[in-house]
Amino acid sequence: MAAETRTGTGPRDRFRAQVRQEVKTAALRQLAEGGPEALSLNAIAKQLGMTGPALYRYFANRDSLLTDLVIDAYGDLASALSRTAEACTEDAVTRLTELGRAYRAWALAEPHRYRLLFRAPLQGYDAQSASLVEASQPAMTVLLDAVSALAEPDARVPEGAAAQFREWQERHGFEGVPEAVAARSTMLWAHLHGMVALEIEGNFTSMGIDPSFLYEAEVTDFVRSL
């Protein structure tokens, strides 16, 4: 039994993992229904038949629960992108195009989770903490790999920006990625995020425009420009 506990596979560990998952599932429902402001540990505890103090044994506070939800969301997004990249073996153009589509599909399927990734969910919450930045790296790695197969590695990058991208790569372990590839990948992400963010907030709907055509054109034009 002691050995099981040390390896994290004992009954107590499994029970703790199960409760934590139930808490996160309930929290995601709250987020989907009312956004981050609706997140209430006391309400979750009541829903799960627990006391508030009992719930705090699993999550110290609301911020720690939010952090787990953000890390999970980054992991799911990275998995969706990785599956797409692995399935597209035809050519680099198809791979990057499909990655753009997969990014939008995940955001539309999980809008409440997508919002958690790219905006501070609550005032005072550190959305750029080291753990969250680290969690975001796998998805960016997929994008960097796809862009590197198409982008010109020696393309000129303004010196100030090149120095910043070199520092960013060194800080996060993206070794061997040309500054031009890092810059183009970041620009692509900015383009895709802008389109997706406008879509999930209903801005295109209010204009009577189907954004799918705009998004496809944006992805196609960007891929052709590499």
Q: How far is CA 107 from CA 7, 72, 78, 85, 125, in A?
A: 35, 14, 12, 17, 22
pLDDT tens for the chain, 226 residues: list them: 333 334 467 888 899 999 999 999 999 999 999 988 899 999 999 999 999 899 999 999 999 999 999 999 999 999 999 999 999 987 999 999 999 999 999 999 999 999 999 887 788 888 889 999 999 999 999 999 999 999 999 998 988 899 999 999 888 888 889 999 999 999 999 999 999 999 999 999 999 999 999 999 999 999 999 8
The C-alpha atoms of residue 39 and residue 89 are separated, in whole angstroms, by 42
- Confidence (pLDDT) at 7: 47
Backbone angles phi, psi at 201, to 5 degrees: -90, 0
CATH annotation of 1-60: 1.10.10
CATH annotation of 64-225: 1.10.357.10
Taking the CA atoms of the chain, what radius of gyration do you get in angstroms? 20
Cα 162 to chain centroid distance, Å, stands at 25
Domain ranges of the chain: 1-60, 64-225
Instruction: Provide the 10 A C-beta neighbour count for residue 32.
Output: 13
- Confidence (pLDDT) at 8: 63
